[in-house]
Amino acid sequence: MADRTLLGIVGSVSADSRTRTAVEVALDAAARGHDVETEVLHLADYDLATADGRGIDDYEGDTADALDLIVDADAYVVGTPVYRGSYSGALKNLLDMVPRGEWQGDIAPFENAAVGLVATGATDHHFLAVDQELRPAFAFFGAHAVGGATYANGNDFNDGELVDEGVRERLATLGEATVELAAAIHDSKALESLGPAI
């Protein structure tokens, strides 16, 4: 995946974000293990418009900048805090603005792209949100989600630092697996053309 970009999307609006910490562990491992550039799109740093059905070319300012990062990336590590058993409303709003190739623009940045999934929550009670909420959202776009997601709870952090070595190793593996899946998709005619189910 030389000269390609792995974008970390952090679906948190908190500047001091455990989700960002987790996503950056995955990105750092990917950059160390592979020839890939990494960037972070942390929603706390952007004043995003509310999704209202307009086309991607009709957004301006921070919203246009955020969408440009998504369009220009080749693969993604997407992290979210879990609220009420689902991914954040801020991430939902962003995803509602990303075109799917039929509506809101003729491009489909997530289609046939590799996506690693990360979630954080106060306790382990929310770990299924990754598979029950986040994975289906990316299936809608026709993305290829890495098979094993990573969930971190509040006890895995201390003063904002990720201290659980098992979780750190899993995040590192997820970052590398996302890059390797992106390379496999690039080399496969079938995986590059599968797209969304409907």
Give the number of domains in the chain: 1
Taking residues 95-115, report their average pLDDT: 91
Domain that holds residue 172: 4-191
Task: Using pLDDT thresholds of 50, 70 and 90, give the confidence band for residue 128.
Answer: confident
Q: Establish if 196 belongs to a structural domain.
A: no
Distances (CA, A) of 109 to 42, 85, 106, 140, 148: 18, 26, 10, 12, 22
Radius of gyration of the chain (CA): 16
Q: What is the DSSP string of 81-107?
A: EEETTEE-HHHHHHHTTS--SSSS-S-
Model pLDDT for residues 145-168, shown as the tens digit of each residue: 999 889 999 999 999 999 999 999
Entry pTM: 0.95
Q: Establish if 198 belongs to a structural domain.
A: no
- Residue 2: per-residue pLDDT: 56
Q: Establish if 197 belongs to a structural domain.
A: no
Instruction: Tell me if 141 sits within 8 A of 100, measured CB to CB.
Output: yes
Instruction: Tell me if 71 sits within 8 A of 40, measured CB to CB.
Output: no
